[in-house]
A and B are shown apart, each in its own frame.
Chain A
Amino acid sequence: MADEHRRLLDLDRTIHEPARLTIVAILSVLEKADFLYVLRETGLTKGNLNSHMTRLEQAGYVAVEKTYRGKIPQTLYSLTKTGRAVFTDYRKRLREAIDPGG
C-alpha cells in the first residue's frame, strides 16, 4: 500500500467524524466557548452536539466546565493540550495524504 494511503488509514477516527471535526476546528481558534455558541456555529441539534461533546470529552480532547451565569447554567468547552496536538497532527496527516508533494 502506498505511504499516502497508509497515512489516511492512520487518521484519528474520533476527530475524523465531520461533526466532531467541525467542533474541534471551532474550538481550536478559541480559548473557550459555551454550548450555545458551538450549537449555533455547527448547526447540530442539542442532543447530537451533546453526544459528540461527550465522545470528545471521553477521548480527553475537550475539557468541560459547568458553571452558572446568574441563574442560567452555562457549559464551557475548551480544547485540551492533547486535543490541540491531535488536531494539529490530523491536519498535517490529511494534508500529506491529499497533497504529498505540497
Chain B
Amino acid sequence: MEQKLMTGSEVLLHALLKEGTECVFGYPGGNVLYIYDAMVDNDAFKHILTRHEQGAIHAADGYARSTGKVGVCIATSGPGATNLVTGIATAYMDSVPLVVITGNVPTTVMGSDAFQEADIVSITMPITKHSYLVRSVQDIPRIVHEAFHIASTGRKGPVLIDIPKDISNHKMLYNPAQNSKPLDLRGYTAVPKPDHAAIDRLLDAIAQSEKPIIIAGGGVVYSDASHELLEFVNRTQIPVTTTLLGLGGFPSGHELSLGMLGMHGAYAANMAVQNADLVLSIGSRFDDRVTMNTAGFAPHAKTIAHIDVDPAEIGKNIKTDIGCVGDIKDVLQYANTKARPYQLGSWRAAIEADQAARPLRYTDSETELKPQSIIEMISETTNGEAIVTTDVGQHQMWAAQFYKFKRPRSIISSGGLGTMGFGFPSAIGAQIGNPDRLVVSINGDGGMQMCAQELAICALDQIPVKIVVINNQVLGMVRQQQELIHGNRLSHIDLAGSPDFVRLAEAYGVKGLRASTKADAERIWQEALETSGPVLVEFVVARDENVYPFVIGGTNLDQMLLGESE
C-alpha cells in the first residue's frame, strides 16, 4: 500500500488499529465530529456508545483490567472530557492501562473560553501517567504509538491524548500498512532491570526469618506473575495475604492463602503481618487501607522488603530495608532459581490457630437475607471462576471476603480511588473483553444509581452481564462508620426513594428479578445464571449488617473490631 492523503481522524483510527484496538468506548460531540465521521463504516473495531462518558471510561477500565490489554475511550471536549476525570483518576490510582482520547476546540480559538472548551490536559495532569495536546496532525501516529507504550509498560496507567478539532481534520500523507516508527522516549525507562544482588539479599533474609509473610498486591496480577508467585511460595513456604487488587493473584484455596488483609482484612492475615519478623510486599504499595496506622505497622518486622516496578514506591509509605525494583515476573523468575524455605517452625501453626479461632463469619438469619450469604451463594454457584466486578462499599468488602477467587484478573474493583459507580460499567467492558466468561457485577443500591444508565447498552448489545444489586436501602459503609465511629449519629444515608430496580431494568429492556428470602434468592440466582442475556438481580437484604473485621482509621492493623464474634 502507498501513502495516502488522510485526515488526522482517519490517521487516528489506523493508528489505534495498529496498536491492536478491538473496541472503543465513547460518546460523540461537536469537537470530535471528524473523528466520529471517520468511524462511519469502520468495521475494524467495535465502538460502544455508552450513555455517559463516565460509563465509557469505566467500561474501558474493566476491559483493560480483565484482559491486560489497553482500554480505549473517546469523548468530546469540555463536559465530555471532564466527565472522564473520575474514571481517569480511578485508573491512575489502580495502575490501569488506558488511552483516553478527547476532542478539544480548534487551535484557532483555544484559550478564548470557547464553547465547550476545557483545559483537560491541565485538569488531568496529576491523574495521568502522561498526556499529549496534539499540535500538528503529523504528530498523531507518533503520539498514539507512544501513548500505548507508556500506558501499557512499567507501572501502567492512563495516558490522555487531547486533539483539537481543526487538527483532527488537517490532512497528511500516511501509509496504514507501514509499521510505526521506532519509539524515541529518552525520558522513559519502561521496566528497570532487576538488581540481582538485592534479590539475593532478600532470599538470604527469608532463609534466616522465622515468621515471614507475603503481601501480594495488584502488581502480581498486572505483571502476569501469579504462576511465578505460586512457585515462589511453594519454594519458600511463606504464607500469603493479598490486597483487594491482589485477590486472584494467588489462589484463595491454597493452604498458605490467608485471604485479604487491611481495614476489613481477615483476622489471621492482619495478625500475621503484625507478628511477622519479615514482611515482603510483592506489587503492593503499602496503601493506608492495608497498613492502617503506619507507625504501628508490623512492629516485630526485622526486615521490610518490597518488590515493585515503580522505584518511587520503595520506601514511600513504609521504611523499607530491601527494595527490589523490576517487573515482578522477572524478579520472581530470578528469585525462583535460588529461593529456599524460611526457618520453618511454629509460625504456620500459630497462623492456623488464628484462622481457626477467628474465621471470617457472619450470623445467618431465617427471617432476613444476609448480604454475606449472597456472596457465598454466588461464589459457590460460579465455582470461583467468574469475573466479578464490584462497586464500592460494604458489598465490595463482602465480595472480597467471601468470594473464593481462583484466577488472576477475576476481581475488577476500584481499590485506590474507591469510585462509586464503577461496578456496573466496568462489567460491560470486562464482558466485551471476555465474551466467553461469566461476568457478575456486584453493586449496592447506592452505586448502582451512579451509572444505571448503561443498562441501555446491556440491553441493546445483549451484553450478558449478571447485574447484582445488594439492596439494603442505605449507604451501608457510611452508616457503619457513623454507627461505630460517630456514636450512631446517622446523617444522610437513607436511600429510601430509590427506584424499583427490577422495573428500572425492565424499562431499559433488561430482565429483572428480585428476592428477599433465601429460597427465592437461590431460585432467582439460578434463573439469572440460566438466562443467556443480561439480567439484573436485586437482593433485598438486612439493613444494619456491618463488615467485620473493621480497623478504624488511625488505629493499628491488629486493633480489629470483630463484631458479634468478639
**A, B from the same assembly:** no
Q: Which residues of B contact A (CB under 8 A)?
A: none
